[in-house]
Chains A and B, each alone.
Chain A
Amino acid sequence: MSDTLQKEEQIKASINAAFRSAKVSIQRKGRIIVEFRGGILPAFASYLKEYLNFKHLSMISGVDWPEDNQFELVYHLWSYEQSIHVMVKVRLDREAAKTKTLTPLWEHAETYEREIHEMLGVEFEGHPNMRDFILEDWDDLPPMRRDFMTREYVDEVYEWRKGREDAQDVRQTIAEQYNTEVPNFNNEDK
């Protein structure tokens, strides 16, 4: 067991030596989780990229933890040489969610950060382009926050067509609305 996890242990040791505040745990072979706190994320990311050869940023995902009053950003990094996947988890305060951008290191981080900004409301300092990404002119709470009540918002903004809830025939509803007869979809008489 120990010889198979040799590379992972090496990486863990070097991260621990360089960054005291990082809590490294090895989940299984080829997968390392780093829980990192503090505002020097770009320095840590550039350390991983330049010294430990984690050249590839696969994606950034955001998680909402209203119980802890925190957002969690997960940076997925991949090393081609060692075939190891590192997840860097960063916790941010929910009230003033702010962190530094990683666009100087990976240009494509721009898209992920824009999306997280739009869906969770996290600010990325130094991001070149924080415009709307998927949603247009959204003025409510960011929709992927867990305290955003989707069902209430939908009830308020959109109209339901009757027949959805009580398993009624939708064809009947449409026909009643336009004063037409219910089309016959029985193919036997055709």
Chain B
Amino acid sequence: MDTSFNLWILLMPFVGALVGLTYMGIGRRIIARVQHRYGPPIFQNIVDVLKLYSKKTAITHGVMFHLAPTLAITGTISTLMFLPILTGPHGIYLFSFKGDLILLMYIMVFGCLAMALGAGQSGNPNSAIGVSRGLSQMVGYEAPFVIAMVTLMVQFNTTSVHDIIKAQDSFVHWNMFQSPFAFIAALFAFLGFMGNKPFDVVIAPAEIASGPPSEFGGKYLALMQTNRGMFAFVKLVLYVDLFMGGAANFVSLLAKTFFFYLIPLFVGIVNPRFRTEQAITFFWKWPTVIGLLGFLMVIL
């Protein structure tokens, strides 16, 4: 327990939120360029969040409505705390020695459930539709994700993220190349996680207002946007840890996470929206089959 450890525990949520929001800003810019627009500034999402924090907020729907954004961000921060951000001699491990992959898989869902409860209490029909769609879709993409994680655990005979990172000591040993089937399955699940275009039926702009957060405004929405940015960062770091052997310094971390961020972004730009049942059928068909194939290969 030295000072740098404490410092990173305090700083990491802010760094995560900043990086995630900036990535989203870059994503908006890239989408704009694809659509032959100039696009907003890169830091637009951070400005949006600042503005939302400066708004007055007077909405009341019940206790759970007030708690939901806080619970969501709590879930995200606790997930972040159990992730090794940087590895190597100058690593930032936070509390990751105390948790493992199973804990991460479990705790990642916490924020979504809190959101669902809060949105359900807001009484807005759009929120209710969004929540039911979101939870159904989660059932869809959790299947290939869990299969991919189990494949990794069986392959390395451990549930510790550290040991998985240690096993990928060089470029050729990255899980990306070592167990490609698990990687592909996890990548499809990642598209669902990020909620970008083909799988954005949860938020579905212009269809059900803005889905679960329709009734959240002002500071609540600010918390939720921060949470979104931070959660994006958490997922990116988790994938980098599992499939790219972690990162030794911030430059390589940013490069690797940005690579992962671009995948759902580009998939989203060229694809229209899936309906819920199409998304679930898709997730349970190809990624799951590929994941099971990888699992079989590992067992045999």
Task: Report if A and B touch in the complex (beta carbons < 8 A).
Answer: no
